[in-house]
Amino acid sequence: MTAKSDTPNGVSSLPYPRRPIVILGAGIIGCATARQLLQNGFQVIIVGEYLPGDQSIFYASAWAGAAWHAAGGLSEEHRYLQVVTHRHLLKMADEPESGVCMVNAREYLEEAPAKNSAIWGRTVVSNFQELVPGEFPSNFNCAWSYDCLVTDPTKHMPYLKKRIESLGGKFIRQKVSSLEELYSMFPDSRVFINASGWGSKLLRDVRDDKCYPDRGQNVFLKTSNCRTMYFRNGKEYTYVIPRPLSEGVILGGIKQPNVTSPEVDMDIARDEIARAHRLAPGIVPANPSESDLSYIVGIRPSRQGGFRLDSEHVGERTLLSAYGFGGGGYAFSYGIADTLLKMVEKAEFENVVASG
Ligand SMILES: Cc1cc2nc3c(=O)[nH]c(=O)nc-3n(C[C@H](O)[C@H](O)[C@H](O)COP(=O)(O)OP(=O)(O)OC[C@H]3O[C@@H](n4cnc5c(N)ncnc54)[C@H](O)[C@@H]3O)c2cc1C
């Protein structure tokens, strides 16, 4: 992508704007960021062991639900990252190829919303309504209905790859053992983004021991009745997430910290179907035909204390870290990408103007 331009003393004289930004990781975080950077004129190279379209359990972005759902317990800054994501997804929902769709959501709570709960999302979604008793099952404390954005990762990741390539971005399929190895592949680059998810536990010079795998397993039920999302929050955590573009719904959820088995656990699958049936009997039959079912296993790249989103100097390079998004990588994705864009611009300012 860039011609390497060395002076006689061995120091690269390549002008800063011709030095590509290098992203490690082609999940939703790396790809959303690449798109934002490319749309703002930066050159971008993405390096990843797994790329859009791949299906390893360690490539979380292939397996997400993925509903935009306001999370509870967030700081105002983190809420805003989700707000920005919602803004981008809302725009993409106009393009069916993006895999982003608007559906109706019905959320049932076992207890009244606690302080700092997910109810802040009412200021973001459209058509938010508190349901009155009689409009929701009597075993719940309260319920909401609203318009909700869902992303079908089987469509969205290939869409992003196409979009990135059409903007001039490049993908390189390669596993690296360290960030140093990445730096040596791109000696001219000055900005590197570590969006390697679970990989940050294993990279030799990162070895972030706060990272841990959090296994998820979902059921995909083929059905044309897939325009309403159901969400149960409380002691039991169950969702039915529509995938209209794939003619089905995703039934979940389960979290198994520190479990990495790729095998489908049929006890979990049966339990998810039973819970989803109780939640949405109009969509999920008690005993769906096996031919309508398939199973999803993926490892959420979680991190104790929450995700990393920060910048540091490593010699003459700027290293941005963005990983550890656990079960919320899609809901945070475009907000993270916009923040990383600002961090890359700050590095550009420091390299081009402040050092001039
Ligand atoms: C069952 C399930 C349901 C989910 N539902 C939702 C949901 O409804 N909403 C939501 O917001 N989120 C959901 N998630 C979470 C979401 O999928 C993740 O948070 C998100 O995909 C993380 O993206 P990422 O880009 O950080 O990591 P990943 O998608 O895992 O990508 C990591 C990238 O880094 C690369 N990499 C790592 N190490 C190396 C290395 N050494 N060399 C080269 N490349 C490397 C990988 O190959 C890959 O390209 C769900 C996850 C699961 C498993």
Name every residue whose Cβ is closer than 8 Å to that of residue 62 and which is 6 or more positions away in sequence. Answer: 50, 54, 55, 56, 153, 154, 157, 298
pLDDT at 356: 60
- Substitution site in 325, 332, 333, 334 for ligand 1 pocket (most atoms within 8 Å of beta carbon): 325
**Rounded distance, CA 172 to CA 51, Å?**
9
Which protein residues are within 6 Å of ligand 1, measured from CB?
A: 24-30, 47-50, 59-61, 63-67, 175-176, 195-199, 203, 216, 218, 296, 298, 300-301, 323, 325-331
Does the bond joining 253 to the residue before it have cis omega, within 30 degrees of 0? yes
**Rounded distance, CA 82 to CA 132, Å?**
28
- Substitution site in 29, 46, 85 for ligand 1 pocket (most atoms within 8 Å of beta carbon): 29
**Rounded distance, CA 149 to CA 68, Å?**
6
**Rounded distance, CA 100 to CA 97, Å?**
8
Domain spans, the chain? 18-65+154-210+304-356, 67-75+89-151, 211-303
Question: Which two three-digit tokens encode residue 355?
Answer: 């050092």
Hey, do 18-65+154-210+304-356 and 67-75+89-151 end up sharing a CATH topology, with the first three levels equal?
A: no
**Ligand 1: which atom is nearest the Cα of residue 328?**
11
**Ligand 1: which atom is nearest the Cα of residue 327?**
15
45 has which bridge partners? Answer: 22, 170
pLDDT at 5: 47
**Rounded distance, CA 16 to CA 188, Å?**
9
What is the fold, at CATH topology level, of the domain defined by 18-65+154-210+304-356?
A: Rossmann fold (3.40.50)
Helix (H, G, I), strand (E, B) or coil at 101: strand
pLDDT at 235: 80
Q: Are 221 and 248 in contact (CB under 8 A)?
A: yes
Superfamily of domain 67-75+89-151: D-Amino Acid Oxidase, subunit A, domain 2 (3.30.9.10)
**Rounded distance, CA 338 to CA 79, Å?**
14
Question: Which two three-digit tokens encode residue 244?
Answer: 């209209």
Residue type, 35: R
Note if the pTM is more than 0.75. Answer: yes
| Distance from the alpha carbon of residue 122 to the mean position of ligand 1, in angstroms | 27
pLDDT at 13: 75
Q: Please name the residue that has the structure tokens 């076992």.
A: 110
**Rounded distance, CA 306 to CA 326, Å?**
8
CB count within 10 Å of CB 313 equals: 10
> If phi over 0 gives left and psi between -120 and 50 gives alpha, with beta otherwise, what is residue 284?
beta
Question: Which two three-digit tokens encode residue 318?
Answer: 């700027």
- Please determine, looking at this structure, whether the domain spanning 211-303 carries the CATH number 1.10.760.10: no
The per-residue pLDDT string of the chain (356 residues; one tens digit each, 9 = 90 and over) reads: 444 445 555 556 788 889 999 999 999 999 999 999 999 999 999 999 999 999 999 999 999 999 998 988 899 999 999 999 999 999 999 999 999 999 999 999 999 888 888 889 999 999 999 999 999 999 999 999 999 999 999 999 999 999 999 999 999 999 999 999 999 999 999 999 999 999 999 999 999 999 999 999 999 999 998 899 999 987 888 999 999 999 999 999 899 999 999 999 999 999 999 999 999 999 999 999 999 999 999 999 999 999 999 999 999 999 999 999 999 999 999 999 999 999 999 999 998 888 76
Burial class of residue 178, CB neighbours in 10 A (0-12, 13-18, 19+): middle
**Rounded distance, CA 253 to CA 273, Å?**
10
Instruction: Tally helices (H) and strands (E) across the chain.
Output: 6, 15
